[in-house]
């Protein structure tokens, strides 16, 4: 396992470096700059500000100056939020987005996987058709529509939750439900189709023929193989929802990390753009690596060196 981990670590570092380089270059090639809209000071003062942040240097010099502190984990100062570093902004906003994202993942897995298994065992029956109809609605309805509906019912109509803001963990319930709408429906359909494929394999009939109980066959054999496509989907999903959703956080007025992915671009905040991009990329690579490790433990045919063992 150690050679596999070392190889993946090197590959991950290379991927992160490529992302950093590409984002840095493309960001500088875009027209406009972080201080172009600020016309309250003279040209001399603007030159001093650009010199303060090193924006008057050649591109290669700016790139090297950015990489040096980045190796120590320093993402640099924000160009828009004066007096704050990118590290502090991410550390302040990420916990709220992570809580909402974590709850949405737990809802998607906790409801979607059992619902998908239930539908696969009741294929083409009334329960299966009704569940599939519900998943079509869940996949089709945008998150902002679902968020508005939950806000009306849960806060304005029934008065169970707050309509907006984030002062208690219960304020994350409605946003997490809105964020889980699509993934819950998708995981249900994915689990159903995966279980149906596995249930028709010859080795499942052989397991029943050997006298194994249905529960042992489902949990010890079918589940371990059928859950692999769901794990593949959960890797990118976890990185996406844990870093926040601009639409959901905007509707519920939650000061999370999701808004930075848009506002950092509109504000031309170079440091914040790089920071959220690197942070998301590291999470995505880490969760995909975790999925690869889980593959090996769930399916003994898969080895750390890659491929299926014959």
User: Does 159 fall in a domain?
Assistant: yes
User: Does 282 fall in a domain?
Assistant: no
pLDDT at 304: 59
Q: What is the pLDDT of residues 140-185, one digit of tens each?
A: 999 999 999 999 999 888 989 888 888 888 889 999 999 999 999 9
User: Does 138 fall in a domain?
Assistant: yes
Q: What are the tokens at 73? A: 């984990």
Count: domains in the chain: 1
Alpha helices in the chain (DSSP H): 2-29, 43-52, 59-70, 86-121, 126-140, 143-150, 173-199, 202-209, 214-217, 223-226, 228-242, 246-251, 260-266, 270-298
Distance between CA atoms of residues 145 and 37, nearest Å: 34
Q: Looking at residues 192-207, what average pLDDT do you find?
A: 83
Q: pLDDT at residue 40 above 70?
A: no
221 CB neighbour count, 10 Å cutoff: 17
Q: What are the tokens at 271? A: 């440091």
Q: Which of 90-94, 178-182, 288-292 has the lowest mean pLDDT?
A: 288-292
Its pTM stands at 0.87
User: Does 182 fall in a domain?
Assistant: yes
Domain housing 131: 98-254
Of residues 126 and 221, the one with the higher pLDDT is 126
User: Does 65 fall in a domain?
Assistant: no
User: Does 166 fall in a domain?
Assistant: yes
Q: pLDDT at residue 310 above 50?
A: no
Q: Domain with 248 in it: what CATH number?
A: 1.10.3720.10
Distance between CA atoms of residues 77 and 201, nearest Å: 57
pLDDT at 215: 75
User: Does 296 fall in a domain?
Assistant: no
Q: Residue 7 — φ and ψ, nearest 5°?
A: -65, -45
Q: What is the pLDDT of residues 229-255, one digit of tens each?
A: 999 999 999 999 999 888 999 999 999
Computed over every residue of the chain, the mean pLDDT equals 86
From the number of C-beta atoms within 10 Å of its C-beta (0-12, 13-18, 19+), residue 144 rates as middle
**Which residues on adjacent β-strands are paired with residue 85?**
77
Q: Looking at residues 286-290, what average pLDDT do you find?
A: 91
Which residue bears the tokens 């380089």?
A: 21
pLDDT at 190: 94
Q: What is the pLDDT of residues 59-84, one digit of tens each?
A: 889 999 999 999 999 999 998 888 89
User: Does 267 fall in a domain?
Assistant: no
């Amino acid at each position: 396992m150690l050679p596999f981990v070392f190889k993946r670590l090197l590959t991950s570092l290379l991927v992160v470096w490529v992302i950093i380089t590409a984002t840095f270059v493309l960001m500088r090639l875009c027209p406009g700059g972080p201080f172009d809209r600020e016309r309250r000071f003279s040209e001399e003062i603007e030159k001093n500000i650009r010199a303060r942040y090193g924006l008057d240097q050649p591109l290669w010099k700016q790139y090297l100056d950015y990489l040096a502190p980045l190796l120590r984990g320093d993402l640099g100062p924000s160009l828009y939020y004066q007096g704050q570093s990118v590290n502090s902004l991410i550390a302040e906003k990420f916990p709220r987005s992570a809580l909402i994202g974590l709850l949405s993942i737990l809802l998607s897995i906790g409801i979607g996987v059992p619902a998908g298994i239930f539908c696969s065992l009741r294929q083409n029956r009334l329960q299966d058709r009704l569940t599939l109809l519900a998943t079509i609605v869940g996949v089709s309805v945008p998150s902002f529509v679902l968020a508005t509906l939950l806000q009306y019912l849960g806060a304005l109509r029934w008065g169970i939750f707050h309509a907006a803001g984030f002062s208690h963990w219960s304020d994350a319930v409605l946003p997490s439900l809105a964020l889980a709408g699509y993934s819950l429906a998708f995981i249900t359909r994915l689990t159903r189709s995966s279980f149906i494929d596995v249930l028709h394999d010859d080795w499942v009939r052989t397991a029943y023929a050997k006298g194994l109980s249905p529960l042992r066959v489902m949990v010890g054999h079918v589940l371990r193989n059928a859950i692999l496509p769901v794990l593949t989907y959960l890797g990118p999903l976890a990185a996406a929802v844990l870093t926040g959703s601009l639409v959901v956080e905007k509707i519920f007025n939650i000061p999370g990390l999701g808004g930075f992915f848009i506002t950092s671009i509109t504000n031309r905040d170079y440091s914040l753009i790089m920071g959220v991009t690197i942070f998301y990329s590291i999470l995505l690579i880490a969760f995909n690596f975790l999925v690869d490790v889980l593959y090996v433990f769930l399916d003994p045919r898969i080895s750390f060196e890659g491929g299926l063992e014959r």
